[in-house]
């Protein structure tokens, strides 16, 4: 599958709440390349969040923590590329 925002291939996944959890329809996915937040569709692709999902993730401490970690990783990646 590919990110619906930047198009990067999504090649790995991990749950931030339960390391044994497998992805299933409705799971919230964050692209580490661009930070886009999407949901896993029943057909295994990503889709835009619906209104209810968007409200649920806004301000979610887990989502915010992942976004902060993502920003740090991408900054280090950019710094190492220079």
Q: Can residue 34 be called a binding residue for Zn ion (CB under 5 A)?
A: yes
Cα of first residue to Cα of last residue in the chain, in angstroms, is 30
Report d(CA 81, CA 21) in Å as an integer. 33
Q: Can residue 47 be called a binding residue for Zn ion (CB under 5 A)?
A: no
Position among 10, 29, 30, 31 found at the interface with Zn ion (CB under 5 A): 31
Q: Classify residue 77 as exposed, middle or buried by CB count within 10 Å of its CB (0-12, 13-18, 19+).
A: exposed
Q: Can residue 39 be called a binding residue for Zn ion (CB under 5 A)?
A: no
Position among 1, 5, 16, 28 found at the interface with Zn ion (CB under 5 A): 5
Q: Which residues bind Zn ion (CB under 5 A)?
A: 3, 5-6, 31, 33-34, 36
């Amino acid at each position: 599958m590919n990110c619906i925002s930047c198009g990067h291939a999504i090649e790995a996944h991990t749950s931030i709440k339960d390391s044994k959890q497998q992805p299933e329809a409705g799971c919230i996915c964050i692209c580490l390349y661009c930070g886009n937040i999407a949901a896993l569709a029943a057909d295994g692709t990503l889709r835009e969040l619906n209104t209810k999902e968007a409200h649920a993730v806004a301000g979610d401490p887990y989502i915010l923590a992942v976004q902060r970690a993502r920003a740090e990783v991408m900054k280090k990646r950019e710094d190492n590329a220079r």
